[in-house]
């Protein structure tokens, strides 16, 4: 299409405007009628969904800590928040998973500001400033390679972050309720080790989700320490160390909730040791160690 001069464009617009004025539909009543019908349909759908939900929910008792139950559309309400729960596992709503993942990428204290403030701020400024930055008058995509590249890359990055954020363990507490998990997550171990089953994300020691550790090795390391790993024989009782070693051996080298290849090496002591250890774990493991 040949370039039009400003004057030609204006004339053309005015012709089009006059034409629409004569032959087009007026805002009132046409568009108003249209909008009213669509709004009524949307409200009707919402009302229908509420009625469906009302017909299917199972009430959940108000006691704290009660499992969330209910039909496919969710329960009527959830159990009351319990301030006594130590192993709460905070996770954002799904539409914040990308931010959550950003925080996980920049998790060292020096970089914390980058993930939590700097990148989101740059992003917002870019978003607001975009109309002023991109002054390219062309509409055709082939003439707008930069806009096209940004338009493709941003959703890919957001979706990738969202995907990984959705699979990440929560920000704290135990992901699993296996015996020993809360002791691992609530105690010293969590600060140094990433372990999916316990929902921890330390990175001083080896990643226990990736490498399977047998019971003997785990017990020896916990009791006597090695290199950067402190000895815990003064902190934990023998049963507590057996419980932790058994928990590590059973769940290391596997995704959360699954048993790893070394599980059998702990079968004799685990979870019996956790039972004997009772609720005396130092460092917040009391609740899950006993039950």
Q: Which of 103, 196, 244, 266 binds ligand HEC (CB under 6 A)?
A: 244
Q: Which of 182, 221, 243, 287 binds ligand HEC (CB under 6 A)?
A: 221
Kindly report the number of other CB atoms within 10 A of residue 106's CB atom.
16
Q: Does 201 bind ligand HEC (CB under 6 A)?
A: no
Nearer to ligand HEC, 161 or 181 (CB): 181
Return d(Cα 174, Cα 181) in angstroms, integer.
6
Choose among 86, 52, 43, 95: nearest CA to 72. 52
Instruction: State the sign of the Cα–Cα–Cα–Cα dihedral 152, 114, 228, 225.
Output: negative
Nearer to ligand HEC, 16 or 238 (CB): 238
Q: What does the DSSP assignment read for 225-267?
A: -BTTBPP-TTTS-HHHHHHHHHHHHHHTTS-TTS--TTGGGGT
Q: Does 203 bind ligand HEC (CB under 6 A)?
A: no
Q: Which of 74, 75, 92, 205 binds ligand HEC (CB under 6 A)?
A: 205
What is the separation, in whole angstroms, between the first and last Cα of the chain?
A: 76
Q: Does 70 bind ligand HEC (CB under 6 A)?
A: no
Q: Does 223 bind ligand HEC (CB under 6 A)?
A: no
**Binding residues for ligand HEC, how many (CB under 6 A)?**
23
Nearer to ligand HEC, 9 or 226 (CB): 226
Q: Does 189 bind ligand HEC (CB under 6 A)?
A: yes
**Stretch of residues binding ligand HEC (CB under 6 A), selected from 25-33, 59-67, 93-101, 217-225:** 217-225
Q: Which residues pair with 226 in a beta bridge?
A: 229
Q: Which of 213, 273, 287, 289 binds ligand HEC (CB under 6 A)?
A: 213
Contact 173, 199 (CB under 8 A): yes
Return d(Cα 192, Cα 204) in angstroms, integer.
5
The answer to whether the peptide bond before residue 29 is cis (omega within 30 degrees of 0) is yes
Please compute, for residue 58, the number of CA atoms within 13 A of its CA located in the half-sphere on the CB side: 8
Nearer to ligand HEC, 83 or 228 (CB): 228
**Stretch of residues binding ligand HEC (CB under 6 A), selected from 53-61, 115-123, 191-199, 267-275:** 191-199
Q: Does 290 bind ligand HEC (CB under 6 A)?
A: no
Q: 3-state DSSP call for residue 88?
A: coil
- Structure tokens belonging to residue 236: 């934990």
63-79: b (≥16 Cβ within 10 Å) or e: eeeeeeebeeeebeeeb
Q: Does 279 bind ligand HEC (CB under 6 A)?
A: no
Shortest distance (Å) from residue 214 CB to ligand HEC: 9
Q: Which residues bind ligand HEC (CB under 6 A)?
A: 184, 187-189, 191-193, 204-206, 211, 213, 218, 221-222, 226-230, 232, 244, 248
């Amino acid at each position: 299409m040949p370039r039009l001069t400003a004057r030609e464009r204006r004339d053309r617009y005015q012709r089009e405007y006059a034409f629409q004025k004569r032959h087009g539909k007026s805002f009132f009543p046409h568009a108003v009628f249209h909008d009213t019908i669509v709004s009524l349909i949307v409200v009707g759908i919402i009302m229908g969904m509420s009625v469906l939900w009302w017909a299917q929910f199972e009430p959940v008792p108000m006691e704290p800590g009660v499992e969330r139950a209910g039909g496919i559309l969710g329960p009527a309400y959830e159990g009351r928040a319990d301030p006594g729960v130590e192993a709460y596992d905070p996770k954002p709503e799904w539409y914040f998973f990308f931010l959550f993942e950003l925080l996980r990428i920049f998790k060292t204290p020096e970089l914390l500001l980058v993930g939590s403030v700097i990148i989101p701020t740059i992003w917002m400024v870019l978003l607001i400033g975009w109309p002023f930055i991109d002054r390219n008058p062309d509409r055709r995509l082939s003439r707008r390679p930069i806009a096209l590249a940004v338009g493709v890359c941003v959703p890919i990055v957001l979706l990738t972050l969202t995907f990984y954020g959705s699979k990440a363990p929560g920000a704290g507490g135990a992901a699993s309720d296996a015996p020993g998990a809360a002791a691992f997550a609530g105690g010293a171990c969590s600060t140094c080790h990433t372990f999916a089953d316990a929902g921890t994300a330390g990175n001083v020691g080896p990643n226990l989700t990736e490498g399977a550790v047998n019971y003997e090795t785990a017990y020896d390391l916990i009791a006597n320490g090695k290199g950067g790993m402190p000895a815990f024989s003064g902190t934990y009782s023998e049963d507590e160390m057996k419980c932790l070693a058994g928990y590590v051996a059973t769940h290391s080298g596997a995704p959360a909730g699954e048993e790893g290849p070394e599980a059998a090496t702990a079968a004799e002591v685990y979870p019996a040791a956790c039972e004997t250890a009772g609720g005396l774990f130092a460092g917040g493991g009391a609740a899950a160690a006993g039950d």
